[in-house]
Structure 1
Amino acid sequence: MAMKVGIQLYSVRESLKKDPMDTLKKVAAAGFKYLETANHDITEHPGIGFPIPVQEMKKILDDLDMQVIGAHFSPISEDGIDATLDYLAELGVKQANCANIEWYPYQDMDYVMRRCDDYNKIGAVLKKHGMKSYYHNHYMEFQKFGPENKCIEDIIMENTDPELVFLELDTYWVTRGGQSAVEYIKKYKDRLLLLHQKDFPSQAPQPINMYDGVLNPTSNLDRVVFGATKNPRCFTEIGTGILPIQDFIDAAGEAPNCQYIILEQDSTQLTEIESINRSMDAFHKFKGIEWA
């Protein structure tokens, strides 16, 4: 299956803070029609990160020929989750990720199992709203853990309901966890909904494998450690680094439910708008992308 190119709006987060509507117009002008959004305070306002009623948001997106194809939201809140999922459903969103229950701390196996229960529960909630719940990885999921010395990512996949918990694979972070993104795409192709894509520079200040001298793979990798070790100079625009992106696209082409490859630019040495334009130019050079 050929994939379409999308963008996680986290890639232009600073621009959105300054002028959200002008930023959306510039994202559209760069050629991005398919959006993955991020709202990390659904208790403040439901939806996709803009404090705008859903009908007004629909008109803005329609006028820009844009579509929300995925959404990250947090926290889990009885006050906010139903309103947020209703908002997403009204926009026609088919899949979403509850970001604050992603894996971070390295604890005991009982803790891992409790987290898997959380993923199943949120998956059931989204299913009631007509959506699929997907899990987004970082490098922490590729610690080896437990009596069988398995990657946490595999433990999560093996202990969650495949009808409730799907996958958004971030190929950059799989690679930085010392694993093959191609192999993980193939391994979980039936549960794969979305790819997150960025690139790793050839002259990075860290080794590409975070467990190769940067971190102890058995340490407690919580959010504080993640933030402290996330070096902004270890990110570059699509096609300007060393990741085998065509290989990722080729592998994902065999995944029956993976329709989108999504730019997520965590950091850039350019302006955000320059950065996303450069990545979009590079996406046009790959095979297996659908532009219609």
Structure 2
Amino acid sequence: MDVRVGLQLYSVRRALAGDPWGTLTQLAEAGFTRLEAANHRAREDPGVGFGVRAPELRHQLDQLGLSIVGCHLNPLHLDILPRALDYQAELGNTQVGCDIEFYPYGDRDFVLRRCEVFNQVGALARERGMRFYYHNHFQEFQRCGDDYVYDLILQHTDPALVFLELDTYWMYRGGQNPVDWMRRFPERVILLHQKDFPEHSPQPLDLFDGVVSRTEDIDMGVFDERKDTRCFTEIGTGMLPIQDIVDAAAALPHLDYLFLEQDHSTLPELESIRRSHDAFSASFTGIVWPRAGRA
């Protein structure tokens, strides 16, 4: 089965902030038809961060042949979820996910409390015919006792309520092989994020190799401070074994999309994602770009 490819809109966040409709038009022209949004203002804006009503956004997307097929919600708080989920349902999107989570080092009880929240979010989503998915970074691969935090999340969330969006880049940066995790939990993985790591980088691939301590508290400040923006490159131009990832993804029974994501670039955002689109298309087999139109 070919892996369907889309774009995470965080890749063009500045362009969207300045000109949302013009940016969406350029994404359509570049060949991206399936989009995952990232709403970092979910308390003030129940939608996708554009500050527009769902009918207006759906009309604009339909005109361009685009579909929102996933959305990160931040902050992930239960009190704001009903209206956020209602917005996504009106938009025609059936999948919502977490954005970024932090866990005090070694605090198992905190992890388990968050797992209960994830289960509740999943139940609210299912009531509306939607799916909730957990998106990882690297900090989930600190140990909490004998387990990774990520292990605890998988052990203490309901597989029928909490699915997985594997960010393969951040798994590598946590010292993990995402292909191994795909093979361990094939039934739960529904989405992937794909970035790339430059061949000549100022940091090691594994952030726990001298950049971040395996025993320190990782919060947003530490995350931003230790993440070197030069450790990203256009997807298909770096050193990650992306063909191996695509091949493993093709065997997943419930995979929906693989989203390209460019966190940082020395290029203008739209030029960066065009370059990723072209490099990804030229470099890897077993992928397909869905045609324009509603998913």
The TM-score bracket by the shorter chain reads over 0.9
> Which of 242, 266, 278 pairs up with 2:263?
266
Give 1:143 shift.
Answer: 1.2
Partner residue of 1:279?
A: 276
Give 1:74 shift.
Answer: 2.2
Q: How is 1:180-195 mapped onto 2 (pairs within 5 angstroms)?
A: 180-195=177-192
Q: How is 1:244-259 mapped onto 2 (pairs within 5 angstroms)?
A: 244-259=241-256
Secondary structure of 1:194's partner?
Answer: strand
Residues 168-198 of structure 1 show CA distances to partners (whole Å, capped at 9, x for unaligned) of 0000000010111110111111100100010
Give 1:224 shift.
Answer: 1.1
Structure 1 segments unaligned to the other structure (5+ residues): none
Partner residue of 2:160?
A: 163
Give 1:150 shift.
Answer: 1.9
Partner residue of 1:178?
A: 175
Residues 78-102 of structure 1 show CA distances to partners (whole Å, capped at 9, x for unaligned) of 66322221110112211101336x2
Distance 1:233 1:109 in 2: 33
When residues 19 and 154 of structure 1 are mapped into structure 2, their CA distance, relative to the original with a 3 A threshold, is same
Residues 132-158 of structure 1 show CA distances to partners (whole Å, capped at 9, x for unaligned) of 110000000111221xx2221111111
Partner residue of 1:19?
A: 19
CA contact (8 A) 1:117 1:160 kept: yes
Query: Is 1:291 matched up with 2:269?
Result: no
> Which of 147, 154, 174 pairs up with 2:151?
154
Partner residue of 2:137?
A: 138
Partner residue of 2:128?
A: 129
CA contact (8 A) 1:2 1:259 kept: no
Q: How is 1:71-150 mapped onto 2 (pairs within 5 angstroms)?
A: 71-77=71-77, 80-99=80-99, 102-146=101-145, 149-150=146-147
Distance 1:25 1:153 in 2: 38
Partner residue of 1:35?
A: 35
Secondary structure of 1:195's partner?
Answer: strand
Distance 1:53 1:119 in 2: 27
Residues 57-93 of structure 1 show CA distances to partners (whole Å, capped at 9, x for unaligned) of 1110011100011001122456632222111011221
Query: Which deviates further from its counterpart, 224-233 or 41-50?
Result: 41-50
Partner residue of 2:67?
A: 67
CA contact (8 A) 1:43 1:79 kept: no
CA contact (8 A) 2:5 2:287 kept: yes
Q: How many residues align?
A: 289
Distance 1:246 1:254 in 2: 13
Partner residue of 1:216?
A: 213
Task: Tell me how large the CA RMSD over aligned residues is.
Answer: 1.4
CA contact (8 A) 1:106 1:220 kept: yes
Distance 1:73 1:202 in 2: 32
The amino acid across from 1:279 in the alignment is S
Secondary structure of 2:71's partner?
Answer: strand
Give 1:282 shift.
Answer: 1.7
When residues 181 and 103 of structure 1 are mapped into structure 2, their CA distance, relative to the original with a 3 A threshold, is same
TM-score (norm 2): 0.94
